[in-house]
Amino acid sequence: KKLHAFPFSEDGGTTVWRVAFNENGEYVLLIGFTGKRQVWDTKSGDQEKVLAQHRWIPTPGEVRAMGLVSDNSTVDRFYQQTEASEGDVTARAAANGSVEFVDADGQVLQTLAFPENKDRHHRAPCLILGGRFYTGTDDGRVLVYELR
């Protein structure tokens, strides 16, 4: 039985990147990729417009620490994401710009290495969208792979 649908929206998108509930489940916090925070009352379905009274939600600084930064463009936000998951497989940035695909137990299933990366400290961005894996190299190229 569906109780509520919370119409979250930011920058024209409806994707929620983080969700949290307060201790008694009365309120739900939705955070988007820009770090925009919305609190909704789970009983009434109404949005709480004043966030200051909700001391349980992360501060803007804590949201930035999650990698959700409000003053960057959509492309910049993609380049800040160093992990993406689909099902029980997670793609994560590794050393020298490589990407590791790991299972739920943390075992590496596959590694993508990009020898053209010159920056040893480059961390490859990771995004899974529409059955495809997107990553980028330190020279600005975006690479797209079909997931199987």
Domains of the chain by start residue, with CATH: 18-68 (no CATH), 81-146 (2.40.10.480)
Per-residue pLDDT at 77 exceeds 80? no
pLDDT one-digit tens code per residue, 16-48? 888 899 999 899 999 887 788 899 999 888 999
pLDDT one-digit tens code per residue, 43-73? 888 999 999 899 999 988 888 888 776 665 5
pLDDT one-digit tens code per residue, 103-139? 999 999 999 988 777 766 777 888 887 788 888 777 7
Task: Say if residues 136 and 143 touch (Cβ distance below 8 Å).
Answer: yes
User: How far is 145 from 77, CA to CA, in rounded Å?
Assistant: 20
Res 43: pLDDT? 87
Per-residue pLDDT at 93 exceeds 80? yes
Res 79: pLDDT? 57
